[in-house]
Amino acid sequence: MKTLVAPMLISLGTLAWLPDAVTAGAQATQQHDSAGVRIVENARPADGSRLDWRIGSQPQVSIGEVFGDDPYLLSGASDATRLSDGRIVVVNRFTRELRVFDEAGIHLDTWGGTGEGPGEFEPVTIFHIASLPGDSVIVWGIWHDPLMSVFGPSGDFERGFRPQRSQPGVAGGLSAVAVARDGSILAGPNRISVVADAVAVELWDAQGELQASLGTHPGVERYRVEDRGTESVIFGRSLILEPWDDLIVVSPTTRYEIRAFAQDGSLARFVRRDHTLGTPTTAHVERYIEEAVSRIPVAASQASARRRFQSAPVAEYFPAFASVIIDALDHLWVEEFEPPGEESPGVLWTVFDPDGRVLGFVETPDDLEIYEIGEDYILGRARDELDVEFVQLWSLAR
């Protein structure tokens, strides 16, 4: 996923971008313990090096059409997961459906839909999906409604529940962020726009009951705007939340340090990598503003937005990294942050092994928003020049 400072429309274009793989070579790693916390210190891989893993030169499967039958016309394909038998389940948010495709991308079935009955979504806006043991899936929305729905491998609705600790209408309240493989739920600050220097993070069990508190952490960096609530600081801090095997990643993006907590809430591991923080220039800020304004379709609103951005505070430094993904083999993928105007043809990731030791750089297609990385595939969403959505499966050879 090309991580952007704000959502933007992207086009797939030609993907003849993949460079010849260059083995990164052995990386310098030091490990030690401090007060029971494992600390893994890593050198940065050499510039231009690549881990000898290869991603296909084109998608192995591409789901989506400009014109065609309804199941292939995606609208708001906000997430997807691949089941053990190769089926791909896509969250089609705007129709409140789960669309199921076989390993070749042929539509098989549609689950859910709009309604008030069991397994239907009204007025819930579904957004996320995760696989559970036995090829069941769990689906949930954003903070508007905390309903979580579980479907069996054949699409039968198994259960729905609202975690008692959800606080969808409370400033600084909690909502589900991610679901671990064992069904436990990682909960963090909901999407209500608040300025919060310290936000709570919790781990809930599969029924939504508190399992452990992971403490308070610096939230998304925002500032107050008169009559508009809050806005994000330009290049400001984010908080990364992600399950990692039996650990939980809870890390602000202000330094290259991945913090991992045990499921009892105790701090268990630091994973660090050499990194020098960059400083935004006037040119970077101007490019940020122009990109943000260009995504507003109404010309009259663009002028107002430009004035608002021009008066916004700017962080002293760029984020140390952009995002984190954990793959099916528990490798940690950390996305490099690219300042506006300095983007490379692909998206660069530093990959760490399950113990936090750096392996090397891997480059993924520029316009692919990654949803899931399996043992031998990458699953995500791309858009064409007409903003048509495609859910794509790319091969990954390690």
Write out pLDDT tens, residues 262-278: 999 999 999 999 999 99
Residue 15, pLDDT above cutoff 60: no
What does the pLDDT look like over 236-251, one tens digit per residue?
999 999 999 999 999 9
- Mean pLDDT value of segment 129-141: 96
In a domain, 59, yes or no: yes
More confident residue, 191 or 103: 103
State pLDDT tens for residues 290-316: 999 998 888 778 888 898 899 999 999
Instruction: Tell me, yes or no, whether 205 lies in a domain.
Output: yes
Beta bridge partners of 30: 41
pLDDT the model gives residue 334: 98
Q: Please determine, for residue 223, whether its predicted confidence score (pLDDT) is greater than 70.
A: yes
Q: What is the pLDDT of residue 193?
A: 52
Q: What was the pLDDT predicted at 264?
A: 94
- Can you give the pLDDT at residue 170? 63
Task: Tell me: pLDDT of 6 over 60.
Answer: no
**Whole-Å CA distances, 258 to 63, 158, 219:** 34, 36, 15
> What range defines the domain where residue 79 resides?
29-280+315-397
Higher model confidence: residue 86 or residue 125?
Answer: 86
Task: Kindly state whether residue 298 falls inside one of the protein's structural domains.
Answer: no
- Whether 192 maps to a domain, the answer reads yes
Please state the rounded mean pLDDT for residues 191-214: 84
> What is residue 142's DSSP assignment?
-
Query: What phi and psi values does residue 283 have, to the nearest 5 degrees?
Result: -65, -40
Lowest mean pLDDT among 8-17, 167-176, 368-377: 8-17
Residue 398 CA to residue 390 CA, distance in Å, equals 25
Question: How does the average pLDDT of the chain come out, rounded?
Answer: 89
pLDDT of residue 18: 38
Distance CA 328, CA 381 (A): 18
Q: What total of structural domains would you count in the chain?
A: 1
Q: Any idea what the CATH number is for the domain that residue 99 is in?
A: 2.120.10.30
What separation in angstroms does the CA of 43 have from each of 53, 119, 147, 273? 20, 49, 43, 6
266: in domain:
yes
Q: Per the domain annotation, does 196 fall within a domain?
A: yes
Model pLDDT, residue 143? 63
pLDDT(64) > 60: yes
Is residue 120 helix, strand or coil?
coil
Q: pLDDT tier at 195 (50, 70, 90 boundaries)?
A: low
Model confidence at 230: pLDDT above 90: no
Q: What percent of the chain has pLDDT over 90?
A: 74
**Residue 246 DSSP class:** T
Task: Report if residue 228 sits inside a domain.
Answer: yes
Q: Does the predicted TM-score (pTM) go above 0.85?
A: yes
Is 295 among the domain residues? no
